[in-house]
Structure 1
Amino acid sequence: MDASLARFLDSQVRDAPDACVPPLVEVVRDFLAGGKRLRPLFAACGWATGGGDRDDPAAVRVGAALELFHAFALIHDDVMDSSDSRRGQPTVHRLLAGRAPDGSDAEHFGLSAAILLGDLCLVWSDELLHASGIAPERLHAARSVLNTMRTEIMAGQYLDLDVTAVGDEIEGAWRVVRQKTAAYTVKRPLQLGALLAGADEDVVRRCAEFGDPLGEAFQLRDDLLGVFGNEVTTGKPSDDDLRAGKWTVLMRLTWQRADASQRAVIEELHGSADLSAGGAQRLREIIRDTAADAEVEAMISARYERAVAALDVLAPPPWAEAALLELADRSTHRAR
C-alpha cells in the first residue's frame, strides 16, 4: 500500500497543473509516512471476508484511498483543535505557516493552506478509489457506505466543536465517538472492503457487529491517551484535550461522579487556554479519584470482548481472522 501511495503521489508531481503543487505533495507524503494504516488493514480484511482475492492489487489501491481520506480528516482535525504537533512532528498548518510569504499573516496562511491541502487529500482519495480497477458495478454498490462514512465524520467533527457544554448528559459524548471516529476507523472500512469484493448485505451487517464495538473501544482508548498518554509515544501533548475542554466520555463520567469541590476545579481548569502542567495534573487526579478512567478501561475491555466474539459470526478466512484479532488487540491496547 505504501508503494501504491508513492506511485500515486509521484503521478501528482509529474502531472501537476502548477509549480505550487509538487511541494504540497511532499507535505502529504511526509504526513502519510507516520500512519498506523489501520483503516487499509481493516478494508483488506473486509475484502477477504467478502470473497476477494488477497493478492488483488485493487484491494491495495482501496486501502491507499482510505489512507488519503484519513489524512484529510487529520489535517482538518488539527486545524479545528489548534494542535501544534501530530506524530511528534509539527501539524500541517504549523508547518505551512513557516512557509508563508514575507509580509503575510503566517498563521492565517498556514490555516488556509492546510484546509486546502486537506481538501486535496479528500479529492485524491476519490480519484484513487475510482482508478483502483474495481468494477463499476461494485463501486456503485459501495457508494452508499462510502457516502455515509464521509457524512458521519463531518457530523462528528461538527459535534466535536461544541466544547462548552457542561452537564451530566453523556449521550453527547457518545455521539462524537460514534460519528467522528468509531465508524470510519473499523466498521466502514470493513464494509467497504467487503462490498467492493462483491459481498451481500448479510456480510455487511456482520461487519458492523464486529466493527461497532471495536471502533468505540478505539476512540475510548484515544480519549485516555489524550489525557494520560506519554507524549514521546503518542506524538502529541497529553494536555491538549484538557486545554481544549473536550467533553469526552472520560470527562463526562468524571463530571457525573465529581463532588461539588471537584466540579469547581473542573469548571475552572477544563478548557482553560493557559492551562498549566500543574492544572492538568489536578484534572488527572480528579479523573483518577472519581475512578472515571477505570470505568473507561472497563468499557474498552467489554467492547473488545464483544468484537472478538463477533468474529465467529463474521467468519472471515483464517488469515483475515488472525489479522482482525491482532488489529483488535492493537486498537485497544495501543500506546499511540
Structure 2
Amino acid sequence: MANDTLEGNRLSAIPRQHLSHAGLVRAVEGTLADFLASQIASLDTIDPALGGFARTARDLVLAGGKRLRPTFAFWGWRGVAGPAASPEALLPALGALELMHTFALVHDDLMDGSATRRGRPTAHKVFEARHGTRFGSSAAVLVGDLCLVWADQLLARTPVPATTLLEVRTRYDRMRIEAIAGQYLDVLGETDPSAWSVDRALLVARHKTASYTVHWPLDYGLALAGVDDPEVAEAYRVYGATVGEAFQLRDDLLGVYGDPAVTGKPASDDLRTGKPTALLMLARRLATPAQLSELDGASLERKAQVVAETGAPARVEEMIRVRVTEGLTALASAPIDPEARAALIELATTATQRPA
C-alpha cells in the first residue's frame, strides 16, 4: 500500500510504515529552514545587523543534533494515530520543539561557560569573538530568547483544530516550566555541591532533561493526535520519566568520560564547574576520605580517575539499565500502534547507550 513518508518538508509516495528517522529529520529541518528564512528576511528589512543576528540563530538551530524531541513527539502521535494518518500537519509543532531546544542549549551553555556545542563554538563564544565577552553573553541571551519566541510562532502555525492546539499548548507550557525549574535547581546545586544529594540530582534530571526530552514530547504528540487516552498517557509518562532520567545519567557519564571529538563538547565540563550530577554525588558517597580530598583538590584528569575508582560509573550504568527496563515494561502493554512501540523501544536504546 503506497502512502507517504517525509522528505525535506514535502511528502513523497513510499510506504508510510517504512518512515525512516532520517526522513523525519529532513522534514523537520526543511520546515525549520523555510520558517527561519522568512523570519530572517523580515528582520533584514529593519536593519542588516538584525538579519546577521538572526542568521547566527538559524545556524545554531540547523547545526545538527539528534532531534530527539520531535522524534519522540512524532512517535507519541503515531502510537495512537496509526499508520494511515498523514504526518504533514505535525511539522510546525515538531519544528517548534527544536527551536525551544536551541533556546535551552544557548542559555545552558552560557550558564555553564561551555566553549563548544555539537563541535562548534557556542553562541556566546561566536558573539564574543566579534565584540568581546560582555557582548557575547548579552547577545547569547537574546538569541535564546528569540528562539523561544520563534518556537511559539511556529507552533501557532500547526494546522490542527483550535481545541487540539490548546491541548498541545498546555503540554508545551508545562514542558517549558519544568525545564526552567530543573535548570534553576541545576544552577543552585553548583553553589554548594557538598549540600546536594543523589536524590536531588535525580530530581534535577527529571525536570531539566527527562520531562522536556522524552515525557512531555510524547504527551505533546498524543495531544496532536487529538486523543484523550489515560492508559496511553500513563504509559508515556512512565516511559518518559524513566528513559528520560536514563538519558541524563548517560549524559553525566559522557560529561566526564566522553570523547570531545564525538560529543562535540569539552571533556570534564561537569568536573570543572563542580556540577553536582548523580554520578559525582555517588562518587562522593562511595569515596574514601583520601578520595574525597582528591575530588576536592586534584586536577581534572585525576578527579575523573578517582570517580572511576569509587565505582560510581558502574552504579550509574546499573541505574540506566533499571530505568530503561522499567520504561519498556510500561510500554509493553500500552494500547499503541505496534510500529510505534518498536520505534520507542529502539529509541530507548539509542538515547541511553549513545556515545554523544
User: What are the equivalent positions in structure 2 for 1:1-336 lying under 5 Å apart?
Assistant: 1-16=28-43, 17-32=46-61, 33-51=63-81, 54-100=85-131, 106-162=132-188, 163=190, 164-167=192-195, 169-202=197-230, 203-269=232-298, 279-336=299-356
CA distance in 2, matches of 1:86, 1:9: 21
Cα distance 1:236–1:2, how it changes in 2: closer, same or farther (>3 A)?
Answer: same
CA distance in 2, matches of 1:56, 1:175: 34
The question of whether the paired residues in 2 share the 8 Å contact of 1:195 and 1:204 is answered with no
TM-score, normalised via structure 1 length: 0.92
Shift of the alpha carbon at 1:28? 2.4
Shift of the alpha carbon at 1:322? 2.4
Shift of the alpha carbon at 1:239? 1.3
Shift of the alpha carbon at 1:168? 6.8
CA distance in 2, matches of 1:77, 1:21: 23
TM-score, normalised via structure 2 length: 0.87
CA distance in 2, matches of 1:149, 1:289: 37
CA distance in 1, matches of 2:286, 2:105: 32
Q: How large is the Cα RMSD of the aligned pairs?
A: 1.5
Runs (4+) off by over 4 Å: none
1:117-163 deviations in Å (ceiling 9; x for gaps) = 10000000011001111211011123332221111111111111121
Equivalent residue of 1:15, what SS? helix
Unaligned runs of 5+ in 2: 1-27
* More displaced stretch, 288-297 vs 10-19: 10-19
Shift of the alpha carbon at 1:201? 4.5
Shift of the alpha carbon at 1:308? 1.7
Higher relative contact order (CA 8 A, sep 6+): 1
CA distance in 1, matches of 2:55, 2:139: 14
Number of aligned residues: 322
CA distance in 1, matches of 2:342, 2:51: 40
Counterpart amino acid of 1:156? G
